[in-house]
Chain A
């Protein structure tokens, strides 16, 4: 597609459940990023992939959060044992490379609600 695609657009689940959020980056973009945006705040970095490998995962809040990008294209963010505090919009972005001066292009996010 022309832009970054994220599915589902909305996800409602119960506390303690496992969720997977998917991101399909712009075709040909080697770098992929996950951010989390709470209401009224700017996006906060979670993890960055260059190709298949995680180049920087310093933003993952704890070991319940994990992300993969096995073929260097689509990425999945996985959250185990969800907590109410995980409720937020999860944004994915991609850029042509992960180097300096590279504009990052965002999808519309997955709005995750933990009941």
Chain B
């Protein structure tokens, strides 16, 4: 019940294409859902986050779509660039704060 399931494990996209990464959760006490981007040798960097009271949030080329009834959320990267090549993690935080529960990660490769 504490898990966050992420897919796909890896993704290859052509430059200019749309990258889509999906996550699903079970625990309805989760109410904050951030996405992190991680480059090799670096820590996870916060990319964008959403709360379940909105269905979509957009920041630049990055959009989170949220389906509360299905307990699923996804990250869309529009106009993907080679510099977006990294590992992406979804995560969930409970309504009391505290620990983040991370998905397993998606290794994205954007081909020029």
Of the listed stretches A14-22, A39-47, A72-80, chain B binds: A39-47
Enumerate chain A residues within 8 angstroms of B103, measured Cβ to Cβ. 42
Interface size on A, residues (CB 8 A): 30
Shortest Cβ distance from B4 into A: residue? A42
Of chain B, the residue at the smallest CB distance from A42 is: B102
Q: Which residue of A lies closest to B44 (CB)?
A: A106
**B residues near A62, Cβ cutoff 8 Å:** none
Cα-based distance from A45 to B94 in the complex (angstroms) = 13
B89 surroundings in chain A (CB, below 8 A): 42-43
**Shortest Cβ gap from B59 to chain A (Å):** 13
Instruction: Give B residues with C-beta under 8 Å from A.
Output: 6, 31-32, 34, 36, 41-46, 49, 51, 89, 91, 93-105
